[in-house]
Amino acid sequence: MPRPHDRSRTGHPPVLIPEAVIRERVRALGEEITERYLAEGADRELVVMGVLKGAFMFVADLVREIDLPMIVDFVGASSYGDGRSSCGEVHLNPGSWVEVKGRDVLVVEDVLDTGNTLKAVVAALESHGARSVRTVALLRKPGAKVAPDFVGFEIDGRWVIGYGLDDAGKWRHLPYVGHVDGIGA
């Protein structure tokens, strides 16, 4: 069934980055990541560590575009709760990770707002003995204090939803990145 083009009629948030544009950029990111690791002679299994919950769709699509042997795992990380502003404290659950000691790890993040979550995840992986830690973010906002190794899109500072990103648990299912302006969120 075709998706409606006028999302305002269906109560869906306005589109910021369309599904087809995301799909093409994720394909290109997969190629860039593969080439970077292969150029360094990577003959080892890569650990792809998705940051939950927001990166789950990005991880699923990205790993299908990376042509390297890999293990996919996730880390629970939160600094927002149900609000739209960071509490400034990042909560991680590293106890369930696969063993990263001596391994190359690619951390997959949904959106870099301040960058605090990504910094905390990278520090935790390094403290667990990862051989190398690289990062990829689907979206980066102007206030991000960290520069990931790979970036999908640079966006403005508004609150975004869809493609795994949420607003108090809502809108993760959308196949595009939208924004909450105009939906009364």
Residues noted as catalytic:
113
Maximum separation of any 2 CA atoms in the chain, in Å? 52
> How far is the C-alpha of 125 from the C-alpha of 155, rounded, in Å?
27
The C-alpha angle 172, 168, 2, rounded to 5 degrees, equals 25
> How far is the C-alpha of 112 from the C-alpha of 95, rounded, in Å?
24
Contact 22, 177 (CB under 8 A): yes
